[in-house]
A and B are shown apart, each in its own frame.
Chain A
Amino acid sequence: MQNSSCPVQAVSDRCSLSELESSEGASIVELRGGHSFRSRLAALGFTPGTAVRMVRNLSHGPVIVTIRDTRIVLGREEAQQVLVTMEGHDDGSTSS
């Protein structure tokens, strides 16, 4: 097991944003869900390749993340629609 919350899978180490633990960093891979949801998130800066850091993730309820110097609250279902990769973001201290 790697020291990360992304379950190691055969193909890649993609996981959903909601699976990150507090203070873990990752980078956005893909947005899922409806068009207006993706469009809103993209405008806020959730575009592929962008660094994102989990600020607070309790086991339930909404999560708080930091992206492009902004703290954003996302409902858990919303965070599940954001796919991220942990590659090169072991400690979350990397920034663009």
Chain B
Amino acid sequence: MMAVQAARPIRIALAGQPNVGKSTVFNLLTGLNQHVGNWPGKTVEQKTGTCQLEGVVFDVVDLPGTYSLSANSPEELITREYIIKEKPDVVVAVVDASSLERHLYLVSELLPLAVPLIIGLNMVDVAEQQGIKVEPHVLEAALGVPVVPMVASKGQGIHELLARIQGLVCGKVHYVPNVPEIRADHKEVLSSIQSLIGGCVPPSYPLGWVALKVLEGDKQLTENVRLCLSKEKWEEMQKLLKLHEDACVAVAGGRYEWIARMIRAAVVKPRSGQITLTDQLDRWATDPAWGLLILAGILGIMFWLTYALGSPAQQWIDQNIVHALAAATARALAPLPPWVKGLVVDGAINGVGTVVSFFPVLVIFFVVLGALEDVGYMARGAYIMDRFMHLLGLHGKSFLPLFLGFGCNVPAVMGARVIESEHARVQTILLAPLVPCTARMAVVAFLAPAFFTAPTLVSWGLLLINLMVLAVAGWVMSRVSKGEHVAFIMELPLYHLPNLRTIALTTWQRLQSFLRKAGTVILAVSVIIWALSTLPHGNIDSSFLASFGRLLEPIGRWMGLDWRMIVALLSSLVAKENSIAALGVLFGADSQARLVTVLRATLTPAAALAFLVTEMLFMPCVATLAAIRQETNSLRWPIFSVLALTLISLAGGVLTYQVATWLSRW
């Protein structure tokens, strides 16, 4: 028996509601043996991994966090379809011992799926702190399902969990689950539906469960049944459903009544009115004035870290690694034809260097983001910012993704995943490139002091212009295309101490996914831009890129810019800070100091300002475009983004130049 078990890995699926510490359990189980991708055809993260205990291999799938198994969100669909179609050996339902009632709701939905279930009773320590006592054995006896007490944040209960899983798969555990039944007043209609839809249930779906979901008004399954049912039967069922329109609430109420019976003996709760740490912290964090200050403080620290640690680290990497590598490679390639050196050094190494130099800022942003998520603060920030985001036709949930854009637009676009509504998510993704990233601020920081007596003021002004354009764009978008009103419902999880392991792992996963998505694209485009700037004659003045720049010169003239400035703008497509490097090449300046002198001689301040405004609002870099394509699963939105932002940025540039020139005559 054991030999058979060892030969085939045991397939486990982790299910649970959001904020239950499910990822911590997953990370504990799999460590670095995990793979992060997307569920096929969905922008929902899929995590899979493996672990071993005494020679037995476990394949673990982390299902998305869901409150229920209705078809209200892609996460819920993925979870139920996986369990029904893939039939894992065991489903582990991770529940929070400190709010057991609500967490058992998902369990009450999982049990009718007739898949072996084990309950991971997590956060036992948090429950004890609140004076809540849960008796695992009593709960186990009531549910008829193994219950394993755990404190995942401290690594407690994992071995026990794996042992119980193994025992269940080997048939060593007496497994007779107590499956919840529907409330008496809905029994009749349920059995009528069941007999109507018999034979019309998709393969491997339990009939009783489908009937229950249809009664609850599940859109997906009802549609499935409609396509198969005869007209008479369909109409008969519609009549039944009309009579029981309240069924979705009644059925949920029935489940909660069942839960109350299950936990009556197992849970001892203190009298309510006890003030928890979360209550105390929330008194400040959700206060309209203090909450805003706290949020501003956190964001301020994040900025400070980016500039105090991220930028110097970026420069250090650039000088000591990228440049050193480029110089060494150039020496090594000297005997070969010059184009080889050009391709490798100016094309490939430059591209890799750009990717690598993003790392420090990204690490800082991902660590801070991971910590805020893990501590439980994110939802508070979303609550505080909701009133401002409403002006853009968005929810509070859009704020943090957009804020991430100040570091780099790529995590901003990826971060928009937290928004449930497709419409609001696309809108947030399209607005993200208007948030000026550190790369753009670096261009401003280089050029502004060269032309203006008050560079800081100009920098703030440029930032403000971007945010104003963002606000107007958001307002216009929410007016032009009104999405259906999506309910703002959000759990405020309990605060808890951050788990360094979880933060480190999420940071690592996000960096990896950035590398995979953006890295290759940046490298490829860097090589292409290099080729365009060299071919056909080997110098930039007569290159394809230059011809393209000259083609666009008429537009540039309205902004006081010649073709070289246009080419510099275009080269920001690889990465925003590439504009400076491109200017260096185009103006034949071998040092940044010389470049400043040459630029001063060529550009009027009005033209320089127009250039900066355009650069700040210009089309997203390829990494961001790749992320937009990935996250929206279409080419339409990246193309729209390029067109819209090109238009906006050029209009902004022309307007700035004309107004500035007109003003300077006075």
Main secondary structure of the interface of A (DSSP, over half): mixed
A61 near B386: Cβ-Cβ < 8 Å: yes
B249 near A31: Cβ-Cβ < 8 Å: yes
* B residues in contact with A87, CB < 8 Å: none
* B residues in contact with A41, CB < 8 Å: 489
* B residues in contact with A74, CB < 8 Å: 487-489
Choose among B70, B101, B219 the residue that contacts A43 (Cβ–Cβ < 8 A): B70
Residues of B within 8 A of A (CB): 67-68, 70, 72, 98-99, 101-102, 105, 216-217, 219, 248-249, 251-253, 256, 260, 271-273, 278, 282, 286, 288, 379, 382-383, 386-387, 390, 395-396, 485, 487-492
* B residues in contact with A40, CB < 8 Å: 67-68, 70, 72, 487, 489
Q: Counting CB contacts under 8 A, is A88 at the interface? A: no
Question: What's the nearest-Cβ distance from chain A to residue B628, in Å?
Answer: 27
* B residues in contact with A35, CB < 8 Å: 217, 248
B386 near A42: Cβ-Cβ < 8 Å: no
* A residues in contact with B253, CB < 8 Å: 42, 47-49
Closest to B248 in A: A39
B249 near A48: Cβ-Cβ < 8 Å: yes
Closest to B279 in A: A55
* A residues in contact with B67, CB < 8 Å: 40, 43-44
Closest to B484 in A: A34
Interface-centre pick from A42, A43, A95 (highest chain B CB count, 10 A):
A43
A62 near B488: Cβ-Cβ < 8 Å: yes
* B residues in contact with A7, CB < 8 Å: none
Q: How many residues of A contact B (CB 8 A)?
A: 37
* B residues in contact with A50, CB < 8 Å: 256
Q: Counting CB contacts under 8 A, is A3 at the interface? A: no
Having A44-B491, A45-B256, A73-B491, one finds 15 other A-B pairs with CB under 8 Å, namely A40-B67, A40-B70, A40-B487, A48-B253, A56-B286, A68-B99, A68-B101, A69-B99, A69-B102, A71-B491, A72-B489, A73-B492, A75-B489, A95-B272, A96-B260
A73 near B383: Cβ-Cβ < 8 Å: yes
Docked complex: A38-93 residues within 8 A CB-CB of B: 38-45, 47-50, 55-56, 58, 60-62, 64, 68-75, 77-78, 93
A39 near B217: Cβ-Cβ < 8 Å: yes
A27 to B403, CA, bound (A): 38
Interface-centre pick from A31, A38, A77 (highest chain B CB count, 10 A):
A38
B489 near A64: Cβ-Cβ < 8 Å: no
* A residues in contact with B286, CB < 8 Å: 56, 64
